[in-house]
Amino acid sequence: MARRTLLARALDNGSYVLTERREPAADGDEPVATALSRRAVFEFAEFGVHDAVVVREETETTYVVLPFSIPTADSLSPTGGACIALRPEAGLSEDYLRGWAHAMKGALGDAIEAGLLDERAATVYFEGRIQRFADATEVIVP
């Protein structure tokens, strides 16, 4: 499976240049946009398409891109999500966040299929749980 990552590099004037990297890639990064604000960088994240956003400033921060959609037999394509900054020193690694999201979505999908929740309520609940990570790291919902 190819991994798609957005790479944002800070410029001296405070704006960002955004490229897209596909791994494995034979031809390097693809330019996406220039002269972006930091907030605008995350608006280019396509949930269900991109796996990560990497922001290079004085340091480099990687954000996991997690769609809010809950998988069910009748589920819709991803319509939104969050970008969560990795903080392995606090236990927030990519493996942990993806595993947590997979388990949470599985349980919510089962609840939808059993008629305990509708898809909208499950998505709102999942988004609320994602927002709780803001106590330990940066959570951006474009």
pLDDT above 80: residue 8: yes
Cβ-count burial of 15 within 10 angstroms (0-12 exposed, 13-18 middle, 19+ buried)?
A: middle
How confident is the model at residue 72, as a pLDDT? 75
Distance separating alpha carbons of residues 74 and 80, to the nearest angstrom: 17
Instruction: Grade residue 1 by pLDDT with cuts at 50, 70 and 90.
Output: very low
Find the helix packing angle between 119-131 and 94-113, rounded to 10°: 160
* Interval 103-129 mean pLDDT: 94
Beta strands of 3-138 (E only): which ranges? 3-10, 16-23, 30-36, 52-56, 60-67, 81-85
Q: What is the mean pLDDT of residues 98-121?
A: 94
In angstroms, rounded to a whole number, what is the distance separating the alpha carbons of residues 44 and 32?
A: 9
Strand bridging mode 3-10 / 16-23: antiparallel
pLDDT of residue 76: 61
The pLDDT assigned to 99 comes to 97
Q: Is the pTM of this model over 0.85?
A: yes
DSSP summary character for residue 14 = S
CB atoms within 10 A of CB 129: 13
> For the chain, which residues make up each domain, given as ranges?
3-140
